[in-house]
Structures are given as structure tokens and as C-alpha cells.
Amino acid sequence: DAGVIQSPRHEVTEMGQEVTLRCKPISGHDYLFWYRQTMMRGLELLIYFNNNVPIDDSGMPEDRFSAKMPNASFSTLKIQPSEPRDSAVYFCASNEGSGHEQFFGPGTRLTVL
């Protein structure tokens, strides 16, 4: 397996624009997680899915953020409209469930000007 795949790897956009981040989890993993990493706040869990269903989105900062998982092999994290404070590295991870290690993607470095 190629591991967790994320795209794009880098995204530079202007304030107010819509940003869509993409993730393909490892095949067979039932859980998918979206994290955000910044120097100030560290690694934060934004939302996670089980069998394509959002289970906990309490970490999503505000309504400008939304996430979907239309099928077992694809998820998106959308920010609309984007703001400079959204600049961060966004990671997607997947695993087989609690008690199992999480496999992280390489991340998307987002810069909002």
C-alpha cells in the first residue's frame, strides 16, 4: 500500500478564497482523522470519521471548516472563506480503530495570504 496520500502538498491562496484539501486513507482502515499543526497550538484533531460517517467534529474551529467522506477511499477538508490564521500544516491519518497506531499522510502546508 502507498500509505495515506494527501494532495496538494503545498497550497498558497489569498484570504477569502476557498481551499480544498484531499486525503486517500489506507485501504481497509475504517477510521480517518484530520489534524492541524501549528507552532502555537501544536497538533489538533479537527474531525474524525468511522466508516465514512463523521463521529466527532468538536475540533473544527468554526463554520468555515467542513469535511466530507463520500466513500471509504476519499475525504476532503474544505475551508471557505480562508483566513490568514488558517495557515498551518494539515494532516490526514487513518487506522483500524482504537488501540491501533495511526498512519499519517505527508501533510498539506497551507499558506493564506
Partner 1 sequence: SQQGEEDPQALSIQEGENATMNCSYKTSINNLQWYRQNSGRGLVHLILIRSNEREKHSGRLRVTLDTSKKSSSLLITASRAADTASYFCATDGNDYKLSFGAGTTVTVRA
Query: Binding residues for partner 1, per CB under 8 A?
Result: 4, 31, 33, 42-43, 45, 48, 50, 55-56, 91, 93, 97-99, 101-107
Starting at the edge strand found earlier in the chain, the sheet holding 74-79 runs 5-7, 19-24, 74-79, 65-71
In this structure, what C-alpha cell is assigned to residue 87?
A: 495557515
Q: What angle do CA 86, 88, 89 make, to 5 degrees?
A: 140
To partner 1, the closest distance from the beta carbon of 9 in angstroms equals: 10
To partner 1, the closest distance from the beta carbon of 99 in angstroms equals: 6
To partner 1, the closest distance from the beta carbon of 89 in angstroms equals: 9
